[in-house]
């Protein structure tokens, strides 16, 4: 991208000074989840000390380490956070940003806010750019971006240093945009910071060194990657994930996100794959097949995945790693439309045979008399061995055998089959993704993954995975039977979804790629958009429905409605009449709110005045689900952490203890009962309590306050059966 080789630095201050010398004192720096924290912090420090530097930081989800709001929370959180986040540096602008104390010459522009954190932050709300993530790189340029930055991975390949965008390959889309600015004579820069903790990803993620103007590379800048720990999965999320798992057809395409719902879907798929009898029994006991069996047969399935799934997703979340490890993420796609078409039709399989060559000739993918281009194609996809060379009209094999390069010659074809053919297709991809984010175990597996396996994952341009434009032919061929699964906050009875903001204009998080995947589901033959919505939300003692008559903010408009899932079931909305959309959403709403919602629909004249919700859908209560799941958990189903936890056994117990105490503190009656229990906990300390109290630093209280807190914890440990 640049005319000269990149300038390499081992010193942060020198590197940043060179950057300022190049672009000047007005710096508009952009970066995603893989932003180089050291470079951001050095620029922030310089701008904070020098009002002459105008610094704009364009990013998303400005992460800060979790912090407790009370002494008790800090005792629990601080050791856990230090252990999980290691030496991950803090973004130094975040605390002033949170407190509204940024210097006037520094501004933060975000496209995706850390969920719920910046609701009352005027700077964040006013400088937020409401943009599809697919267009975010374009919009960075609109915002005046003159520096793009990212962490990069370094590795030697064939004795030469190679650089990988790793988990930030989505940014490939910004490079041609910056090139255009250069050609217009504008001073722009691309800066990379090597972090050896980053997995080295292959395929599209590998870029030439001269992609970067500056590369900061020294071991002292290595650090732990941002890796949120895996969250617990509760009954509500498990039921949503179980419902979603029935909508995935074998041989299909999958997109899912991060968090407990993504883990729940993954768990449902693994249960379907490896414990199919128990999976079907759970579906039967929950009544899912009885109520929604027709939809499941039409859209998905409940049998194990024989062909497997292929992933095409904005975010490579940890769920995909587990799907790969359990043999579900295994359908390979290829970067050639003609070849992919033959694979889809079953005319070419993974095994390479002489018939493979015959089909390729029949379809015109290679000519009977092989050319250098034909040989390159055949070797790229493993149909010919790499050692074969074309010498005029002859194919030369590794053992020196010469064979006529003529697939129309029966004798030559027989010789080619014995000496030239590979064993199976290669170059197959099981997952295309724009960026990754997951727990430390995910990064560790990617770092340790053998090269051949790692090459099955293609981190690539966000424009490739999030839309069809510019790559429509190959995308349509690869994304067979696609299921794009996203999370929403609320769904109106007419099928509109609110996923990222409130009706007063405040943004909770961001649209990300949700709209693009919904739109793509409508554009792709055989694809479906699936929105997951928890049927209710709880604040204090108040429970509200997330299925609402209408709402003043919409992320996905009603005319793009397709499929909606709650913990109570599945609603197929695409192409349906208004009255049927309402009826189907009422069927999966919490029964405490069904009658009120039905009355609103009747008052608007959108459903028949005499319509009644069918009896089988009138028992949608959390108590019913908990009873059923409670019977299944002793069989080993639906564990709190399906894929392990970063918490120690003591911390898992303490997390429940502290949560219970927090709830009780909000209720006067419960508080008095808890205090009475704490007073009753006086006396010698039970031996079983020691590990918990030691973890909280309360095994030897130093004053009356610590003694009181210790007694509260002891009382709650006793109350939950731990003592």
pLDDT on residue 682: 52
pLDDT in tens, 335-388: 999 999 999 999 999 999 999 999 999 999 999 999 999 999 999 999 999 999
Q: Which of 51-60, 108-117, 682-691 has the highest mean pLDDT?
A: 51-60
- Within-domain flag for 226: no
Count other Cβ atoms within 10 Å, centred on residue 602.
15
Query: Are 229 and 645 a contacting pair, CB within 8 Å?
Result: yes
Global pTM reads 0.94
- Nearest CA among 485, 199, 447 for reference residue 314: 485
Co-location of 387 and 408 in the same domain: yes
Reported as a single tens digit per residue, the pLDDT across 210-258 is 999 999 999 999 999 999 888 899 999 999 999 999 999 999 999 998 8
Write down which residue in 622, 638, 659 finishes a domain: 622
Write phi, then psi, for 128 (nearest 5 degrees).
-65, 140
- What pLDDT is recorded for position 2? 45
Q: Are both 103 and 57 inside the same structural domain?
A: yes
How high is the pLDDT of residue 673? Answer: 52
- DSSP-derived 3-state class of residue 358: helix
Closest CA to 286 of 232, 233, 249, 238: 238
> CA triplet 591, 596, 599: central angle to 5 degrees?
125
**Which CATH number does the domain housing residue 473 bear?**
3.40.1080.20
CA distance 42 to 48: 10
| Minimum mean pLDDT range among 70-79, 161-170, 341-350, 502-511 | 70-79
Provide the percentage of residues in the chain whose pLDDT is more than 70.
97
Overall domain count for the chain = 4
- 247-304 pLDDT, tens digit per residue, is 999 999 999 988 899 999 999 999 999 999 999 999 999 999 999 999 999 999 999 9
Residue 425 lies in a domain: no
Q: Is 517 part of any domain?
A: yes
| Res 675 pLDDT > 50 | no
Judge if 559 and 610 occupy the same domain.
Answer: yes
| 486 found inside a domain | yes
Of 419, 450, 475, the position where a domain reaches its end is 419
Question: Would you say residue 614 lies in a domain?
Answer: yes
Structural domain range at position 376: 337-419
Question: What long-range pairs does 206-209 form, CB within 8 A, spacing at least 24?
Answer: 206/162, 206/163, 206/164, 206/165, 207/163, 207/164, 207/165, 207/172, 208/1, 208/163, 209/5, 209/6, 209/161, 209/163
Closest C-alpha among 467, 514, 497 to residue 561: 497
DSSP states along 597-630? HHHHHHHTTSS-TT----GGGS---HHHHHHHHH
Structure tokens at 574: 């695409």
**Residue 659 pLDDT:** 86
- CA 103 → CA 56, 65, 110, 282, distances in Å? 11, 22, 17, 57
Chain-centre distance for alpha carbon 503: 26
Q: Let me know: does 163 contact 153? Beta carbons within 8 Å.
A: yes
For range 389-408, the mean pLDDT? 91
- Give the residue from 422, 373, 427, 369 showing the smallest Cα distance to 393: 369
Q: What CA dihedral angle connects 180, 182, 187 and 189, to 10 degrees?
A: 80
Burial class (CB in 10 A: 0-12, 13-18, 19+), 609: exposed
- 560 in the same domain as 444: yes
Q: Looking at the structure, tell me whether residues 663 and 580 fall in a common domain.
A: no
For residue 193, the domain's CATH number is 3.40.1080.10
Question: Is residue 680 pLDDT above 60, yes or no?
Answer: no
Residue 341 shares a structural domain with residue 312: no
Residue 72, pLDDT score: 87
Residues 14 and 155 grouped into a single domain: yes
Q: In this structure, are 325 and 255 located in the same domain?
A: yes
Mean of pLDDT over the chain = 93
- Left, alpha or beta for 160 (phi > 0: left; psi -120 to 50: alpha)? beta
Residues 176 and 57 in one domain: yes
The Cα–Cα gap between 639 and 655 comes to 16
- Shared domain check, 242 and 292: yes
Q: Would you mind telling me the total number of residues written for the chain in this entry?
A: 723
Strand 490-492, strand 547-548: pairing: parallel
Between residues 632 and 676, which one has the greater pLDDT?
Answer: 632
Q: Is position 641 within any domain?
A: no
Backbone angles phi, psi at 505, to 5 degrees: 95, -15
Q: Are residues 307 and 384 in the same domain?
A: no
Backbone angles phi, psi at 500, to 5 degrees: -145, 0
Output the CA–CA distances (angstroms, integers) from residue 54 to 17, 43, 91, 93, in the order listed: 15, 10, 18, 14
How far, CA to CA in Å, does 516 sit from each of 511, 522, 561, 574, 584? 9, 10, 13, 17, 25
Examine the fold and report which residue of 171, 195, 221 is the final residue of a domain before the chain moves on.
Answer: 221
Could you say which DSSP state residue 109 is in? E
Over the stretch 301-320, which tens digit does the pLDDT of each residue have? 999 999 999 999 999 999 99
98-107: long-range contacts, CB 8 A cutoff, minimum separation 24: 98/64, 103/47, 103/48, 103/51, 104/51, 105/47, 105/51, 105/52, 105/53, 105/54, 105/55, 106/44, 106/47, 106/48, 106/55, 106/56, 106/57, 107/55, 107/56, 107/57
**Residue 665 falls within a domain, yes or no?**
yes
Residue 456 CA to residue 203 CA, distance in Å, equals 9
**CA pair distance 118, 507, nearest whole angstrom:** 8
Does any domain span residue 108?
yes
The verdict on 173 and 55 lying in the same domain is: yes
For residue 225, give the 3-state DSSP assignment: coil
């Amino acid at each position: 991208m640049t005319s000269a080789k990149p300038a390499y630095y081992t010193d942060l201050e020198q590197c940043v000074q060179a950057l300022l010398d190049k672009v000047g004192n007005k710096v508009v720096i952009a970066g995603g989840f893989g932003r180089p924290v050291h470079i951001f912090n050095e620029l922030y420090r310089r701008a904070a000390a020098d009002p002459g530097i105008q610094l704009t930081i364009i990013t998303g989800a400005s992460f800060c380490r979790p912090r407790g709001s009370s002494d008790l929370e800090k005792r629990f959180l601080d050791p856990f956070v230090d252990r999980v986040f290691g030496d991950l540096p803090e973004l130094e602008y975040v605390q002033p940003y949170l407190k509204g104390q940024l210097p006037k010459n520094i501004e933060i522009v975000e496209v995706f806010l850390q969920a719920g954190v910046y609701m009352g932050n005027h700077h964040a709300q006013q400088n937020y750019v409401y943009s599809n993530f697919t267009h975010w790189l374009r919009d960075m340029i609109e915002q005046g971006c003159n520096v793009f930055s990212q962490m990069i991975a370094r590795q030697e390949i064939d004795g030469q240093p190679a650089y990988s965008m790793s988990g930030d390959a989505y940014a490939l889309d910004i490079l041609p945009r910056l090139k255009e600015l250069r050609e217009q004579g504008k001073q722009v820069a691309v800066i990379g910071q090597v972090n050896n903790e980053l997995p080295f990803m292959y395929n599209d993620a590998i870029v030439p060194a001269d992609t970067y103007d500056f590369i900061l590379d020294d071991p002292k800048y290595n650090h732990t990657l941002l890796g949120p720990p895996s969250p617990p999965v509760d009954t509500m999320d498990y039921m949503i994930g179980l419902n979603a798992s029935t909508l995935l057809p074998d041989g299909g395409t999958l997109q899912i996100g991060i968090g407990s719902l993504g883990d729940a879907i993954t768990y449902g798929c693994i249960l379907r794959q490896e414990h199919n009898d128990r999976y079907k029994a759970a579906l039967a006991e929950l009544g899912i097949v009885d109520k929604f069996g027709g939809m499941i047969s039409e859209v998905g399935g409940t049998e194990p995945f024989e062909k497997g799934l292929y992933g095409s997703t904005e975010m490579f979340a940890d769920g995909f790693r587990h799907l790969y490890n359990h043999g579900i993420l295994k359908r390979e796609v290829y970067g050639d439309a003609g070849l992919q078409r033959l694979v889809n039709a079953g005319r070419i399989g993974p095994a390479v045979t002489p018939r493979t060559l015959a089909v390729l000739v029949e379809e015109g993918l290679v000519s009977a008399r092989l050319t250098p281009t034909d040989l390159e194609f055949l070797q790229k996809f493993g149909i010919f061995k790499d050692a074969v060379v074309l010498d005029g009209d002859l194919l030369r094999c590794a053992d020196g055998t010469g064979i006529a390069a003529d697939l129309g010659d029966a004798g030559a074809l027989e010789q080619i089959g014995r000496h030239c053919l590979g064993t199976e297709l290669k170059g197959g991809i099981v997952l295309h993704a724009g960026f990754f984010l997951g727990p430390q175990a995910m990064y560790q597996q990617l770092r340790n993954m053998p090269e051949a396996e790692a090459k099955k994952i293609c981190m690539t341009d966000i424009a490739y995975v999030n839309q069809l434009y510019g790559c429509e032919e190959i995308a349509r061929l690869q994304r067979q039977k696609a299921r794009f699964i996203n999370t929403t906050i609320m769904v109106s009875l007419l099928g509109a979804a609110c996923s990222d903001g409130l009706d007063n204009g405040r943004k909770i998080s961001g649209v990300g790629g949700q709209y693009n995947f919904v739109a793509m589901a409508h554009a792709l033959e055989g694809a479906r958009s699936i929105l997951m919505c928890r049927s209710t939300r709880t604040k204090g003692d108040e429970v509200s429905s997330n299925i609402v008559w209408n709402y003043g903010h919409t992320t996905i408009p009603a005319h793009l409605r397709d499929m909606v899932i709650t913990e109570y079931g599945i609603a197929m909305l695409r192409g349906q009449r208004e009255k049927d959309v309402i009826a189907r959403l009422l069927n999966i709403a919490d029964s405490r709110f069904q009658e009120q919602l039905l009355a609103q629909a009747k008052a608007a004249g959108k459903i028949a005045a005499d319509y009644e919700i069918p009896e089988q859908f009138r028992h949608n209560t959390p108590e019913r689900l908990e009873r059923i799941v409670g019977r299944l958990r002793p069989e080993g189903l639906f564990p709190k952490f399906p894929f392990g936890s970063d918490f120690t056994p003591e911390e898992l117990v303490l997390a429940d203890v502290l949560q219970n105490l927090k709830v009780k503190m909000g209720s006067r009656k419960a508080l008095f009962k808890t205090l009475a229990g704490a007073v009753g906990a006086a006396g010698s300390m039970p031996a079983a309590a020691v590990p918990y109290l030691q973890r909280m630093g309360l095994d030897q209280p130093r004053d009356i306050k610590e003694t009181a807190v210790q007694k509260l914890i002891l009382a709650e440990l006793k109350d939950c059966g731990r003592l």
